[in-house]
Every structure is written in structure tokens, then in C-alpha cells.
Amino acid sequence: MAVLSRFFGFDRLDTETFATSHILSPRALFAVRLVVTLYALAVLGAMFYQNRGPFFFYLTCWGFLGLTTYFILATAFSAVYCCGPGAAARVHRPRHTLVAVNEPQNGADMDVSACSDDSDRWSVRAADLPLFAPQYRPYQVVLWFLYDTIIVFHVLVPIIYWSMLYDPSHHSTPFLTFTNVASHATDLVLILIEVACNRAPLVASHSLIIIVCLLLYMALAYVVHAGQHYFVYPFLDYHLNPPWKVVLTLLAMVAGSVVLFYIQYFVHVTRDRLGACQRQKAAVPVRGQVERLATPAMGMEKDVDFKE
């Protein structure tokens, strides 16, 4: 178990990154997620009403169920972070504060004057909160795994739908048009917003999760065919298409999902580096002062001496 924990990065998981942002305050992130959650629940209800019996036959439906579940959990994490014990200190914690110092005399060390930094306000750490504490690790892992899948499948599914399945000549009602656009286009917009706003990390080894999930769905699709005697998607039909073409299509889907995961991986790395640079730029060096940099997401502070 310890080996798996290290391999998948559980031992390095900082759950506070799921409730903080480089560009939004924790409360603003909570508000965005709450709106998205309500919208996703409405769309999921419409999709369930439209598909009814075969709802769980489609990758689109499984994907949107995962997206909705993720946003429900993420909103819960944000709510606890913003409203739990010590929330005022976490939410209003400054990104950087300047502490006055006395100028050094004759090469002596700088003497930092006694300044109250309200350190007792940070006595309630995020790691002590419900959902953030170590005993809630299963919930944290589920949230992380859901995040891995939605940022890939909600890019992959729109690509497959609009390139292989969409038929402009097919008659569509306004209700059907709404569910199709919401589940094959708007979902991608929601993912882009979430990726831009949160600080959740990605681990390269999690690409295995994407592969396993996709293979499980492919197996489900053929189980559905065995029981219902029809293929959910025409590109899976080895009677309609040459078997080699079906195999190549499935392999391309797996390979494409891995490529999309690593694109997202580098997007996340770039996002976090830009966020770190932005925090450094916000710290203005002032002669005769020590800047105490507060990193809310990590719950750490460090003192930086600025010299001539």
C-alpha cells in the first residue's frame, strides 16, 4: 500500500490546493463551483430524463455523472474551507505583509522589530478540518481521481462526438439540442474554467487511471451489445466496420486519452509556475524591511531579506 501511495502521489497530496486558486479568492472559487454544480445537476437531470433506461450505456452520460460528482465534492471542500473553523484567517490571509526592521549598524545583523503578526489566527490549519484531515483520505483520493478523469474525458468526448457521431441532418428538438450542446460542448467550457481557477496538481502516473477507465467502458459497451444486441456507438460495430478498423479506433481512443492527459499535465505545470511568478511579482522589495511571504495554499510562511 505504501508503494502505491508513493507511485500515485498520495503521500504528497496537499488537499488545500483543491480549495485555493492562483487567481481567485477561496470564496470566489466556492461561488463559481456552486453555480457550476447547480448547472451540472440540471443538465444531468435532463440527460437522465432523455435517456432513461440506457443512461448508463453511454460514455457521455458516465462522463457527465463524473463531472457532476466532482463538482459536488469540490464545492463541499470549498464550503468547509471557507466556512469551517478558522475560516476568516484562511480566507482573508494576506498574500504578503511587510514587517519593519532596524537598519544594520557596522555590518551587524538586521534586527527585526517586534511586530504582531496575529499568528494565533492561523491556529486552525486546513489539515485539521473535516474533509481535509488525514482520516478523510478516501474522499480526497476520490476527488483527485475524478478530477483526473473529467479533465481528459470532457475533451475526448466532444472531439469524438463532433468528428464521428454528429449528424446535422438528424432532426432534433430544442430539448435534445440543449442536452447535446450541454454534454458535448458546454462541459468543455466548465472544465477549462475549473482548470484555470483551481490549484489541483496532476501526477504523471495517473495516466494509468485514464487508461483503466476507458478500457472498462469499452468492456461495458460490448457487454451491452451481448445483452441488448446493439452497439452503443457505430464505430464499435465490428459487423458494420472491418474488425481491424474497430481495433485501430479503440487504440486511437486510448492513445488520444493519454496524449490529452499529458497535455493537461503540462498545462497544470505551466499554470502553477505562472501562479508562483505572480506571487513573487506581488512582493515588492523595500529597503530596510523584511517581506513575510504568506502562501495560503501551503499554510507556510518564509522571511526574505532584501539587500541593496
Quick one: which of 115, 129, 128, 114 has its CA closest to 80?
A: 129
The confidence score (pLDDT) of residue 84 equals: 78
Share of the chain above pLDDT 90, in %: 59
- In 10 A of CB 225, how many CB atoms? 17
CA gap 215, 209 in Å, rounded: 10
Q: From start to end of the chain, where are the E strands?
A: 96-102, 111-112, 289-295, 300-305
Quick one: which of 121, 143, 123, 122 has its CA closest to 15?
A: 143
The confidence score (pLDDT) of residue 13 equals: 83
Cα–Cα distance list, 267 to 156, 190, 199, 273 (Å): 16, 16, 12, 10
Q: Which residues of the chain have pLDDT under 70?
A: 88-89, 91-127, 283-308
Quick one: which of 95, 92, 97, 90 has its CA closest to 125?
A: 90
Q: What's the start-to-end Cα distance of the chain, in Å?
A: 51
Q: How many CA atoms lie within 13 A of 209 on its CB side?
A: 23
The confidence score (pLDDT) of residue 295 equals: 45
The confidence score (pLDDT) of residue 7 equals: 85
Grid cell for residue 271: 499554470
